[in-house]
Amino acid sequence: MLDLHPAPADMARLVIEGLNRTPKQLPAWFLYDNEGSRLFDAICEQPEYGLTRTETALLKRHAPAIATALGEGVLVEFGAGSARKVSPLLEALAPPAYVALDISAEHLQQACRNLQQRHPTIPVLGICCDYSLLEQLPELPLLAGQRRLGFYPGSSLGNFDHDEAVTLLAQFARLLGSNGLLLIGIDQPRSVAALEAAYNDRAGHSAAFARNLLVRLNRELAGSFDPGSFRYEAHWQARDSRIAMALVSARDQQVSLAGTSWQFTAGEALITEYSHKYSPEAFTALAAAAGWHSLERWSADDGSFSLHLLQPATVGAAPGRLSI
């Protein structure tokens, strides 16, 4: 595995910037230390969180058609997590190599080990990095002369606001190259009750996932957060078509970190992450703003989720086809 994780000083700078914002907000990737990644896996198994089951079923069902549409190339997964969704694609594609990018180093290493055991004939490489900042994929013999097929599941794009999402998709276009393709999973707006339950499960894993962020800040950046004095909330914000997840201060309190102090008033929110939801049309427009052309789409029967296959717009693709 290659380890390009941001240095503690860069993390401290990002946290200070985030706590100086109104409302206070931290980059979503801070949620993913080893314990955060473990808690995220637990969230994926909760009855309220259907996204993982829906996307996994779509991938299993359509893997042969997706593999045909993707063609030959190295598969590059952004934000691979436990890399549990990619197996049907690896089986159908048999790519010359698979590269997993993720910010959570220890978890990524274990995920790559497990995946390598399941697919012994495909070379597996992990790169621990912030994919939004990566200037280029490392020049490795594994990647030399190969087309790059991007895979970005989990609707992780939803963590970024509109402008950031356009920038990130343009960044992926750059990393994948002019003959690359991107397969991306996107969660769609639906019942507010179902969405709010998905991000605030009854078993409390979502709350533990958010609170673990404060534990991490205390441990890694000498923070003084009292995680017990923040309650977790997840609310649908219709105007922005997103769920906002926050730790809300239960009382007036002062918190310090990396030599700086901040005041929280009772009821004040620290945004831990957003999850923006896009209709297929809204997503296609967003992707177009980043220079991607929509080539094909596979959607869940209940309309809650779609896998979109994108091609750089400059390639001048034929009009898109829909597979519903």
In the complex with ligand SAM, the residue whose CB is nearer, 167 or 253, is 167
Q: Which CB sits closer to ligand SAM, 66 or 255?
A: 66
Work out which of 87, 132, 241, 253 binds ligand SAM, going by CB under 6 A: 132
Residue from 29, 160, 264, 292 in contact with ligand SAM (CB under 6 A): 29
**φ, ψ of residue 300 in degrees (nearest 5):** -70, 150
* 169 makes contact with ligand SAM (CB under 6 A): no
Residue entry with tokens 């730790």: 247
Asked if 79 touches ligand SAM (CB under 6 A), the answer is yes
- Taking CB under 6 A as the binding criterion, the range among 124-132, 136-144, 244-252, 291-299 that sits at the site for ligand SAM is 124-132
> Per CB under 6 A, does 50 bind ligand SAM?
no
Cα dist. 88→16, 58, 241, 292, 304 in Å?
41, 10, 31, 25, 21
For tokens 């274990």, the residue is 110
Closest residue by Cα to residue 160 from 2, 307, 25, 313: 25
Q: Does position 88 bind ligand SAM by CB under 6 A?
A: no
The yes or no reply on residue 249 touching ligand SAM (CB under 6 A) is: no
Out of 25, 37, 249, 272, the residue judged to bind ligand SAM by CB under 6 A: 37
Decide if residue 150 touches ligand SAM (CB under 6 A).
Answer: no
Residue 13 phi, psi dihedral angles, 5° rounding: -65, -45
Residue whose CB is less far from ligand SAM, 154 or 264:
154
Does 153 interact with ligand SAM (rule: CB under 6 A)? yes
| Cis check: omega of the bond before 23, within 30 degrees of 0 | yes
Q: Exactly one of 75, 89, 99, 104 binds ligand SAM (CB under 6 A); which one?
A: 104
Distances (CA, A) of 3 to 132, 134, 177, 279: 15, 12, 23, 36
Q: Who contacts 111 (Cβ-Cβ below 8 Å, separation ≥6)?
A: 80, 81, 82, 83, 84, 100, 102, 126
- Residue 128: what are its φ and ψ, rounded to 5°? -85, 115
Contacts of 225 (CB under 8 A, 6+ apart): 214, 215, 217, 218, 255, 257
What is the closest distance, in whole angstroms, from the C-beta atom of residue 266 to ligand SAM in the complex?
A: 30
Among 95, 126, 150, 154, indicate the residue that binds ligand SAM (CB under 6 A).
Answer: 154
Q: Does 81 bind ligand SAM (CB under 6 A)?
A: yes
Q: Which of 24, 38, 62, 85 binds ligand SAM (CB under 6 A)?
A: 85
Q: For tokens 């200070």, what's the residue?
A: 16
Which one of residues 131, 160, 230, 292 is an interface residue with ligand SAM (CB under 6 A)? 131
b (16+ CB within 10 A) / e for 51-67? bbebbbebbeebbeebb
- Of 14-22, 95-103, 291-299, 304-312, the window that binds ligand SAM (rule: CB under 6 A) is 95-103
Residues in contact with ligand SAM, counted by CB under 6 A, come to a total of 21
Strands 253-257 and 260-264: antiparallel
Min dist CB 129 to ligand SAM, Å, is 6
Figure out which of the listed residues 48, 91, 130, 220 binds ligand SAM, where binding follows CB under 6 A: 130
| Residue whose token pair is 């990130």 | 168
Q: Is 314 exposed, middle or buried (0-12, 13-18, 19+ CB in 10 A)?
A: exposed
- CB closer to ligand SAM, 4 vs 16: 4
- Interacting residues toward ligand SAM by CB under 6 A: 28-29, 32, 37, 40, 44, 52, 79-81, 85, 101-104, 130-132, 153-154, 156
